[in-house]
Copies of this chain bind each other. A is one copy, B any other.
Amino acid sequence: MAGGTRELTVDLGERSYPIYIGTGLLAQAGSLFLKHGLPVKSPILLVTDSSVVDLYADKLEESLAAAGYKVTTAVVPSGETSKSLEMLDELIGAGLEAGLDRKSTVIALGGGVVGDLAGFVAASYMRGVRFVQIPTTIQAHDSSVGGKVAVNHRLAKNIIGAFHQPEFVLYDLDTILSLPMREVRAGLSELVKQGLLWDGEFVRWCDEHAEQLLALEPEALGYALYEGCNIKAIVVSKDERENDLRAILNLGHTIGHALEAVAGYGELLHGEAIAIGMVGAARLAAKFGYDERIAEETERLHVKFGLPVRIPSHLDTDEIMSAMMHDKKFAEGKMVFIVPTDIGRVEIRKDVPSSWVKEIVEGLREGTRQA
């Protein structure tokens, strides 16, 4: 392993796995596959997307071939629409044609969409084969910890899926360099989120290193990804199947998901939507009597990272409210929010009056002054 590579273990008993974070790691994929005992005789299916394939697939394929692996590469269109049962069907077919057997491995090379899709292929092909995740975005650090894999249904996002843990995750920081700036910012929003819900010290570190992070300086980025993955890993290892604690990871997601749904997927990036959602959750905290500076600080931090903190004016409040009611986080019809009680600390509130939420949404609209 190259000097400066960080290694982190996601602790899930016998399904524990490491995350490697560093530069130049794609070229070491083959030897890592061997080290992890992935069978050379069984063909590999490499799933990637149209925006990533030309940048990184060659290097990965070469490294695997040099280690003796036979790799078939399947390319899906870039974007959320690839997370479908139709694409699952195609990839299962590609796996069968490539002769994948029960000892085979499916690799995800790409962002969160490719990770979720290829992960569900791995979870369901022959009722489950091995899975290796190679994220190429900052955002994907989130989906690379915790084993949640899924495709979308016409009526709801991420509704068809499984829990399927990877053998390991390979984070090559070099792949992040090709990300458009808007996606860098959106990805950093999710890193900051991990701090806001668990570790105030990491939030302060992000605040102090915003410039280095936005410049994708490898040392800072490597550290931040390590910390972000680590926080998520701690939470997930305490609650793998999302019975309770794991829900705190949804900080900012209640409003965020509704904004994505109403705007139509694509207008707002996920990280942008939850940035606005986190500011909303922090304002809700004030309603529950917590320090108003939590909301001010949350907003200042997101502005520093160049993230939106207001709801685009053309989105309708009633539609946003209605989209929230359909969110699958409302078990048995009650409104649930993750509410910060301090910078780096949250609680799960299952008693949030929808009138408060509506007020917050109204107050977050572009051009509206804070109440």
Separation of A307 and B150 alpha carbons in the complex (Å): 43
A163 CB-CB contact with B under 8 Å: yes
Q: Name the one of B101, B150, B154 contacting A127, with C-beta atoms under 8 angstroms.
A: B150
Pairwise interchain contact A159-B85, C-beta atoms closer than 8 A: no
Q: A214 vs B215: C-alpha distance in the bound complex, in angstroms?
A: 76
Q: Is B162 a contact partner of A124 (Cβ separation < 8 A)?
A: yes
On chain A, the number of residues with a Cβ less than 8 Å from chain B's Cβ atoms is 34
Contact of A93 among B97, B124, B154, B332 (CB under 8 A): B154
A332: contacting residue among B42, B85, B154, CB under 8 A: B42
Of A89, A103, A123, A124, chain B has the most CB atoms within 10 Å of the CB of A124
User: Chain A contact residues: over half helix, strand or loop, or mixed?
Assistant: mixed
Does B128 contact A159, Cβ atoms closer than 8 Å? Answer: no
> Shortest beta-carbon distance, A39 to chain B, in Å?
8
Contacts of A88 in B (CB 8 A): 85, 160
Contact A92/B160 with A85-B85, A97-B155, A102-B328 known, Cβ cut-off 8 Å: yes
List 9 interface pairs A-B (beta carbons < 8 Å), by A numbering.
A42-B331, A85-B85, A92-B153, A93-B153, A93-B155, A96-B153, A126-B159, A126-B328, A127-B150
Smallest CB-CB A-B distances: 6 pairs: A96-B155, A127-B161, A124-B160, A85-B85, A101-B331, A92-B153
